[in-house]
A and B are shown apart, each in its own frame.
Chain A
Amino acid sequence: MKQYDVIVIGGGVVGSAVARELTRYRLRIAVLEKESDVCTQTSGRNTGMLHGGFLYKTGSLKAECCVEGNAEFDTVARELDVPFRRTGKLIVGFTPEHRERLERFKARGEANGVKGLEIIDRARMNEIDPSAGGNFAMYCPSSGILDPFQYTIALAENAVKNGAEYHLYTEVTGAETAPGGHILHTSRGEYAARWVINCAGLNSAKISAMLGIPGHTLRGFKGQYFVLDKKAGAFAKIPVYPAPNANNTFDTHATPTVDGNVLVGPDSEVTEDFADYETTQRSMDGLIESGSRMFSHMKREYIIRSFAGIRPKRIDPETGEVLDFALECRPDVPGVINLVGIESPGLTSALPLARRVAAMLAARETLAPNPDFDPVRRGIKRFSEQSAEEQERMIAQDPNYGEIVCRCECVTQAEILQAIHNPLGVHTVNGIKCRTRASMGRCQGGYCETRITALLRSELGEEITQVELGPSGSQMFTGPVREGGNAE
């Protein structure tokens, strides 16, 4: 049986942030992830917003962690090499009722410590972004956009660099207490640890019950999105959100991404099935309509992809009220730190939450610092973003930079090889996509997918039938066309 000091269940942004923060100490750490890669669920299926923190109840963990995470993110992005822009955000309104709500959130934001909030008129909006819909807006200058894949991958890579282990395809199926800790039963054998940290996202209530803490109820709020071509991105300068609705949540918004696309969405519906990422015609029709109100350049021909994500909201099962993040270390369940209902603003709050986890651990045992801890992670340098001089230097050093694999996004073979051979590693087409942007462009892999699968096979020595798109069971091929046949 594999033995660890700490096992983190879940390799999303929170689990990876926790693993990374705990590698600051001398601990043997494993992250158990049931999927084929990190950030395949909620952490990778969202708007990629660095939230300001004006939406959440004053004094809540959501408000506290969000404001803290927002304030430090320039440093974090630099340290971990995460694409990030502090764009600011417009929350726009049309009616006096909207204005009243915005005023209320401005006051709440100020109480939460959000700086620079102001209500602005249309003329001022035009200066900030003429494409934004609405008659007036609340402007939140501290909001920003980041690449949620890169952020989670960066945390995970940095955790691995500092000694943590990632075990993919490892689904926790049961848990029992043992002298001095816990034994976890998984789809890939048993694991033992003194500490178990539940960062299981959509499955956090289930895992919590397995670990001996029943009583948390999660409700899945599914939201669908469209991704628009970079041609639309040229018109989107800043995230534009509608005034919060009566439930204090946002309806469909239009958000530029750090890479220059636009996300339109999400809508919101309750789902019982926490793996239901299907998009529906009804939602997509709705997004086109509501998206057009927020973003005047919303056009059908700009759509290059759609996707869905699910926010695991912790609720009061009696009243249905949405509750704060749960972060607990109960005296009656020793050796467990439980994080349940980490939904939006989870991306912004991941590191603040992770530090609170580390503090809980430190309050219960003496943690020795890891003298080799290095907080710095370098991402894959993007050929397409370099000057011509630098591009020439890069090709001279490594001719693989001279091979363009993905035409739309101008991703080179060198970048794909770096993703595959990173210590965290990647072995799926979707994983390569999240790390390099290959196949994220308008042709959606029409040109590069055949090249990427060929590289996965040759670099990892995979059989034809082993190549996976992304999710478990997503084998792309059934075998050779003809036995003994050769590839070109």
Chain B
Amino acid sequence: MNEAMVLQRDAVVIGGGPAGLAAAIRLREKGIESVLVLERERTAGGILRQCIHDGFGLTRFGESLSGPEYAERFVSRAAELGIEVRTDCTVLHVSGEHTVTAVCPAGLFRVRAKAVVLAMGCRERTRGALAIPGSRPAGIYTAGVAQSYINLQNVMVGREVVILGSGDIGLIMARRLTLEGAHVVGVFEVQPYPSGLARNIQQCLNDYDIPLYLSHTVVDVHGRGRVTGVTVAECDAAFRPIAGTEREYPCDTLVLSVGLIPENELSLGAGVELDPRTKGALVDENCQTGIPGIFAAGNVLHVHDLVDFVSLEAEALAEAAASYIRDGALAPCPLAVETDGSIGHVIPQRVSGTKSFTLWLRVRKPLPGCRICVRQNGRLLAQKSLPKALPAEMIQLRISVEELDQEHSVEVTTE
């Protein structure tokens, strides 16, 4: 590659969604001059472009915004600051030495950066990954794909709809499809509790009389050209369908909202180690991955419940990333953050003990009235009492440096 095609930047941010833009803006505000954002879509904003419902921004901006409005705040702020955002530009590879290879209609180019921020977001789990038996007709969509067709392309995906999984996008789509004249037969969730937020259960299902069937799953798909129906069965505690409970629902569409997976192919290519629980990078309190100078934030790191936290997490890494860009290193983080079986995942997984940090976690199962306790060597550092803890909701605890020692691992438990 000729040298004209190799750019030098202080920071390169991969992904121009709510994480990437927030990180880029804050880096610039911290005095980092050359920040480049690479975005594969024609316009920045990420998945928010298709989220035309409101409820975004309550935490970050103190008001309720639609997805495009929320994104626009960051897009226009980035423009105001003169941040270079290259759209229509797909990153092909990231090296452990901070070289990013990208492609756009003008050609191939490389960026050598002092720091790399991974902000690629997540993708949806598919029917194939769940291995749902049955035929393979048209009319099976993941919720995000259906949302993209309806909200961005003005294309209606179906009229009689069964939704599998109670993830937030599925709940939002239940309402959206209903508003556009489709009939949503019901939402079926394999777990005994919903995986989406309580507010979405109320506003997207209950308000529209759409039934939610917990401990149910789709066990068969019918139809050769187009979906003609699905068979649903009740499930036991191990999520196995219970024989004899099968029921057929005629429909022309099956929408799947069965989980999001952080999109870490580029991270793996760079040699970044992932946490099997989050499917995102193992990071320290600075959101720095195992490779110095490579940071990750937002849904590529762990799937969040609210976009506000995606942006806040990305903004929080800017200070440390800016120090890294200036000094070439950050304080080591040798202390592991360990959890008991009640915790689904935790971010960060390593800390220094010399700095306050925010602990993000999700519980594995719904817990009635519990206390999240954070300890070092048996000593309580912080705790949070919750009337109930749901896996759908991200829990945050602030751990103050005053409480921390620099010798012992950090233990997180529920009581």
Other-chain contact of B138, A307, A408, A474 (Cβ < 8 Å): A474
- Per-residue CB contact flags for chain B residues 90-109 toward chain A (1 = under 8 Å, else 0) read 10100000000101111110
Q: Please tell me if B377 contacts chain A, counting CB pairs below 8 Å.
A: no
Other-chain contact of A478, B133, B148, B158 (Cβ < 8 Å): B158
Chain B positions within 8 Å of A446 at CB level: 123-124, 126, 142, 144-145
Q: How far is the CA of A369 from the CA of B92 in the complex (A)?
A: 48
A284 touches B133 (CB 8 A): yes
Interface residues of A (CB under 8 A from B): 226-227, 275, 277-281, 284, 300-301, 303-307, 388-389, 391-392, 395-396, 399-400, 402-404, 407-408, 410, 442-447, 449-450, 453-454, 464, 468-482, 485-488
B105 touches A399 (CB 8 A): yes
- Per-residue CB contact flags for chain B residues 135-150 toward chain A (1 = under 8 Å, else 0) read 1111100101100111
Interface residues of B (CB under 8 A from A): 1, 5, 40, 49, 88, 90, 92, 101, 103-108, 123-124, 126-129, 131, 133-139, 142, 144-145, 148-150, 152-159, 180, 219-221, 224-226, 241, 252, 265
Known A408-B265, A443-B126, A446-B123; judge A392-B88 contact (CB<8 A): no
Other-chain contact of A279, B105, B133, B139, B159 (Cβ < 8 Å): B133
B124 touches A443 (CB 8 A): yes
Chain A positions within 8 Å of B124 at CB level: 443, 446
A395 touches B133 (CB 8 A): no
Chain B positions within 8 Å of A454 at CB level: 153
B152 touches A487 (CB 8 A): yes
Chain A positions within 8 Å of B241 at CB level: 281
B225 touches A473 (CB 8 A): yes
Nearest Cβ on chain B to A466's Cβ, whole angstroms = 12
Nearest Cβ on chain A to B248's Cβ, whole angstroms = 14
B134 touches A278 (CB 8 A): yes
Other-chain contact of B131, A226, A391, A474, A477 (Cβ < 8 Å): A226
B128 touches A477 (CB 8 A): no
Residue of A nearest to B159 (CB): A478
B155 touches A477 (CB 8 A): yes
Other-chain contact of A475, B123, B150, B152, B226 (Cβ < 8 Å): B226
Q: How far is the CA of A485 from the CA of B225 in the complex (A)?
A: 27
Chain B positions within 8 Å of A399 at CB level: 105-106
Most buried by A among B88, B126, B221: B126
Q: How far is the CA of A443 from the CA of B123 in the complex (A)?
A: 7
Q: How far is the CA of A227 from the CA of B108 in the complex (A)?
A: 32
Residue of B nearest to A305 (CB): B128
Residue of A nearest to B123 (CB): A443
Residue of A nearest to B176 (CB): A481
A487 touches B154 (CB 8 A): yes
Residue of A nearest to B2 (CB): A392
Residue of B nearest to A477 (CB): B155
A486 touches B154 (CB 8 A): yes
Chain B positions within 8 Å of A487 at CB level: 152-155
Most buried by A among B1, B104, B138, B265: B138
Q: Offer 7 A-B interface pairs, CB within 8 angstroms, sorted by A.
A: A279-B131, A304-B128, A400-B105, A404-B103, A450-B148, A471-B224, A478-B157
Known A280-B133, A281-B133; judge A480-B156 contact (CB<8 A): yes
Chain B positions within 8 Å of A284 at CB level: 131, 133
Residue of B nearest to A486 (CB): B154
Q: How far is the CA of A300 from the CA of B124 in the complex (A)?
A: 17
